[in-house]
Structure 1
Amino acid sequence: MTIGLLAIVVGALWTVQGLDILPDSKMSGKHVWTFIGAGVAVIGLILTVIGERVRSRSKRQGQ
């Protein structure tokens, strides 16, 4: 889950830089980073959901 959350944050940062909302970076204004960032954020969301399901499943079996 931690890796998923980190991927969401990094992906969001890259997306914002690609959209040139966060200036003063070499990635700012380059639209390829918008798509890469969005993809990384989606992967992070998937990893977070999977991690939460595994965690809740293991808690149920432990009771």
Structure 2
Amino acid sequence: MRPARRALLIAGAVAAFVGLFWIGQGTGIVRWPTSSFMIDQYRWTVTGSVVAVAGLVAILIARRMRG
């Protein structure tokens, strides 16, 4: 696997995970850490959605790269 493809795949996976975590905090499903300013904040639900989709797009692009 080429280094660029691997890097894009890893970055996409991390972005997707972080985005899902932010969605969980923004909706109040994930309440960790308990003192987080992101809990029950709609803005973090939207931001997390954008980051998660960007991560999934990066994964799709990495999978379509040759090599």
- Settle same-fold status: TM greater than 0.5: yes
Number of matched pairs: 56
Choose 1 or 2 for highest CA Rg: 1
Point out 4+ residue stretches in structure 1 off by more than 4 angstroms.
none
TM-score for both structures, normalised by structure 2: 0.80
- How large is the RMSD of aligned CA atoms in angstroms? 0.7
Q: Distance in 1 between matches of 2:54 and 2:38?
A: 20
Unaligned 5+ residue runs, structure 1? 59-63
TM-score for both structures, normalised by structure 1: 0.84
Unaligned 5+ residue runs, structure 2? 1-8
Which structure carries more helix by proportion? 1
